[in-house]
Structure 1
Amino acid sequence: MRTLYVRIIVTTMAIMIASAIIAFAVSNIYYQFYLKPENDQKVTHITENIVATYKQNNNQSVPNFLTSMADLGYKFHLVDQHGQAQTFGESFTSTDMEESDVEAVLSGETYHGIANYPWRPFITGFFDNDLANTIGVPIQVDGQTYALFVRPDTTQQFGEMRIFLAVLLVLTLLFSFLMVLISTRFVVKPIKKLTEATKKIAAGNYHLKLDVNRHDEIGRLANDFTKMSDSLESTEEKRQEFVSSVSHEIQSPLTSIQGFSRTLREEDLTEEERSHYLTIIEKESKRLSLLSKQLLTLSSLDSEADVEMVPYDVADQLKEVVHATEWQWHEKEIVIEMNLSPTTIAGDPKLLHQVWMNLVENAIRYTDPGGTITIITFRDKTGTQVIVEDTGNGIEKENLSQLFDRFYKVDKARTGTKNSTGLGLSIVKKIIELHHGTIMVDSDPGKGSTFTVTLPNK
């Protein structure tokens, strides 16, 4: 299986080769349709000037004239009417030419061999040293017509250029390959770190720190990966803490039930003692039942099952909650004050009923006999507000930040009962969040607490 490092190198080299082929193809098209006709015109113009120069200096013999012109970087092929030919300057690689082309020049026409020269790959046709790759014009010498074929002498120039291009091509490929190796290693290195980190996370090691000092996509990926690792570590810690808390909460009532069950086997117990122990077992059983129900509720809420949103009046629901808890607050002679304006919201009545029931029961539980609980509803631009305020002992400031954590109990800060599971407010917060709302708490130790729930307006 190829590694990413090899894949990047192969892909980059393939792109370079493909780009070179495309560049050569485009260059050839450009040469065939633009440069070659232009070169033909230029050489034709030069050839006509050479003939004109000879006419102005006809006291010089043709061989001497063409020899001197050849020294300027041209080569000439002179053919008379009998087919006798002479070459001046460097010889041609091939002197093959159609007789009809020679006769056409002798009859006064111009031969455009450069423009009509057959196509060659890589623009090498321009440098082909063939007689057919020339410009031919008629020239009058001592009253006789000759065919003069001319082309620039590119042999030496092309030889040097060929060496230069070969060296340039080799060095370009060599340095390109080296740069690809280096740059690819630079790109792949942090990815290898991510791969190793992934293996560590799979093995349960979430405490990772990737040393990737980059500001590109890979750098952002490494940063996000580190954040994910931290989040997984935090989740794992919470999971372990949750398991530990659940085990403790279950173990405590089970231990009580087991212990008192053994005690009930003793024959010398009075009826009063037996009834007392049975009452304890019953309470612990109810506590276990409540714990299991709340755990199931949390599990259902964590799965974020669809919330059945329906419009209903939250004020009427709060009145039902107050009536349902009447025996609790009436037993403690607590005064319930309600300022409930008709307020229609969109929510799940069953879930929100748990919220109001939990908040009201907590207020009753932590309010001293003869205290007051105030319930208020109103609507403003921020949403629908439901406020539950009590005159209990309040909560210390350092406990407020953990108040909604699972299994966190504030019984030690608020005189209450040992029967709390520490899950009630966690459930409340989760339900409120599923309704896209918020819950805030403000507490003054010794004076009471105020819970404010804000839900979106209908």
Structure 2
Amino acid sequence: MKTLYFRIVITFVLIAMVSSVFALLVSNLYYLGRSDGNNEQKVMNIAREIRALYEQTPELDMNEYMSHIANMGFQIYLVNDQLEGTFYGGPFKHKQIDPESIRRVLEGETYHGIWEEHRLRLVTSFFENSIQNSIGLPLRVKGEAYALFVRPNLEQQIGEVRRLLAVILGYTFVCSLVLIVIFTRYIVKPVEKLTEATNKIVGGDYNIAMDLSRQDEIGNLARHFSTMALSLKQLDDMRQEFVANVSHEIQSPLTSIQGFTQAILNKEVTSEEEERYLHIIESESRRLSSLSKQLLTLAALDKEASVLKRTAIRLDEQIRQILILTEWQWTEKQLLLEIELPEIVISADPQLLYQVWLNLITNSIKFSRTGGTIQIEISVEQDLVVTIRDTGIGIPDSELPHIFERFYKADKARNRTLSGSGLGLSIAYKIIKLHQGNIEVQSEWGKGTTFWVRLPYL
């Protein structure tokens, strides 16, 4: 399997190679478009100067003259009318040339080898050591016609520069490859650490150490990954706590039911105790049934907005229905209800919202003292606000931040008759959040509690 490290190295190498080819093509276009004609003209002017100088001093020995010219950095090929040629200066690597081209020069034409023979080739053709890559001019030597072919001896003139340039480019490419191999490891190493951290998380170990000091994209990724790991750890802790709480909430009533049932079956109790035990068994069974319903509700709410079935409802009528339903409870405790419920229509899920008011109102009744007061008010500010206030036992300040957590029970020391599953407020909070609303609470220990439910109102 090809690793990320291997892929990055190969990618950089391919980029370097493609860039080199592209640079060569661009250079070739520039050479063919501009430089090639200029180079030929320069060589043409030199060849004309060589011919003019000799024609001005025809008494010079031809061989000696051409040798001196060649020693100044030129390659010369001189051909007589019998097509017999003599070379001067550095040797040509390729000595083939079309005899017809030689005859045309002997007849007075000019041979444009640098441009005509190589205009469709690469820029490297300028360095081709060939007679064809030269300038040919007619030359009269003591009345006889000669063809003079001239080209610069680039090996002599710029040979060292070419070798130096080749060494520079070669070492640059090799050095680039070495640096790519080294620094790619620097890029890939944090990714490998992220992979190791991922494997640890898969194994259930959320204690990972990441380099969070980097300020680049990888550092940002590491910070987000650490945040994700912390969230997963919290989620896993919540899951374990949730399972433990569910097990405890189920085990307690089951233990009671099992114990009381066993006592009744063994005929170890009186008829009065048997009746009392049966009432307890019924109560615990109802608590188990309520707990299962609430767990199913939470599971449905965790599917987010897909559970919402919005419709237009009379909010004031819905709250009045709950007050009628719980009348026997607040009447039994001789509670005074102060109600201000103007007619309000909102778009919401009626069944889910019903659970919110039922939970909050029954909690207010449950934790209110006999003869206390419950205030329920609907008002419209920027949002719709439902206020439920009681004069009950209140909630300690240390407990307030946790009351919406699942299975959390404020005042854990209170008796069983007041305790619930610890899911009611969590369900209410989740339902209001699904309606894009919010629940706020304020309480003073021993004096009462106020809940504000805020919902969007259009």
TM-score range, shorter chain: over 0.9
Distance 1:327 1:411 in 2: 25
Shift of 1:323: 1.5
Give the 5 Å matches for 1:180-199.
180-199=180-199
Aligned to 1:307: 308
CA contact (8 A) 1:345 1:384 kept: no
* Letter aligned with residue 183 of structure 1: F
CA contact (8 A) 1:333 1:371 kept: yes
Q: Is residue 243 from structure 1 mapped to residue 243 from structure 2 by the alignment?
A: yes
Give CA-to-partner distance per residue, 1:262-316, whole Å, 9 cap, x none.
2223546433222111111111111111111111111111122331111222122
SS at match of 2:392: coil
Shift of 1:325: 1.2
CA contact (8 A) 1:395 1:413 kept: no
* Deviates most, 268-277 or 387-396: 268-277
CA contact (8 A) 1:395 1:444 kept: yes
Aligned to 1:406: 406
* Letter aligned with residue 353 of structure 2: L
Distance 1:86 1:302 in 2: 97
* Letter aligned with residue 349 of structure 1: P
SS at match of 1:211: coil
CA contact (8 A) 2:75 2:153 kept: yes
Shift of 1:347: 0.8
Distance 2:66 2:268 in 1: 144
Aligned to 1:380: 381
Shift of 1:452: 0.5
Aligned to 1:215: 215
Give the direction of change, closer, same or farther, for the CA distance of 1:209–1:334 in structure 2 (3 Å limit): same
Shift of 1:205: 0.9
Distance 2:225 2:291 in 1: 36
Q: Is residue 433 from structure 1 mapped to residue 433 from structure 2 by the alignment?
A: yes
Distance 1:311 1:361 in 2: 25
Shift of 1:10: 2.6
Aligned to 2:109: 109
Distance 1:15 1:99 in 2: 46
* Letter aligned with residue 342 of structure 2: S
Give the direction of change, closer, same or farther, for the CA distance of 1:120–1:176 in structure 2 (3 Å limit): farther
SS at match of 1:389: strand
Aligned to 2:255: 255
Structure 2 segments unaligned to the other structure (5+ residues): none
Aligned to 1:125: 125
Shift of 1:431: 0.5
Aligned to 2:179: 179
* Letter aligned with residue 313 of structure 1: R
TM-score (norm 1): 0.92
Distance 1:164 1:444 in 2: 88
Shift of 1:181: 1.4
Give the % identical residues: 45
Aligned to 1:422: 422
Give the 5 Å matches for 1:447-458.
447-458=447-458
Distance 1:271 1:380 in 2: 59
Distance 1:253 1:268 in 2: 20
Distance 2:374 2:285 in 1: 30
Q: Is residue 275 from structure 1 mapped to residue 285 from structure 2 by the alignment?
A: no
CA contact (8 A) 1:366 1:414 kept: no
* Letter aligned with residue 18 of structure 1: V
Aligned to 1:343: 344
* Letter aligned with residue 135 of structure 1: I
Shift of 1:64: 4.2
Q: Is residue 16 from structure 1 mapped to residue 9 from structure 2 by the alignment?
A: no
TM-score (norm 2): 0.92
* Letter aligned with residue 372 of structure 1: T
CA contact (8 A) 2:73 2:156 kept: no
- Aligned Cα root-mean-square deviation (Å): 2.4
CA contact (8 A) 2:77 2:85 kept: yes
Distance 1:56 1:407 in 2: 115
Distance 1:265 1:81 in 2: 138
* Letter aligned with residue 346 of structure 1: S
Give the 5 Å matches for 1:97-176.
97-118=97-118, 123-157=123-157, 159-176=159-176
Structure 1 segments unaligned to the other structure (5+ residues): none
CA contact (8 A) 2:118 2:133 kept: no
Distance 2:54 2:329 in 1: 129
Aligned to 1:363: 364
Aligned to 2:200: 200
Aligned length: 457
SS at match of 1:114: helix
Distance 1:316 1:52 in 2: 118
Distance 1:262 1:93 in 2: 114
SS at match of 1:397: coil
Distance 1:95 1:286 in 2: 111
Give CA-to-partner distance per residue, 1:380-426, whole Å, 9 cap, x none.
22x11111111112111111000101111124488883441111000
Shift of 1:119: 7.2
Q: Is residue 390 from structure 1 mapped to residue 390 from structure 2 by the alignment?
A: yes
CA contact (8 A) 1:343 1:378 kept: no
* Letter aligned with residue 50 of structure 1: I
Distance 1:447 1:10 in 2: 73
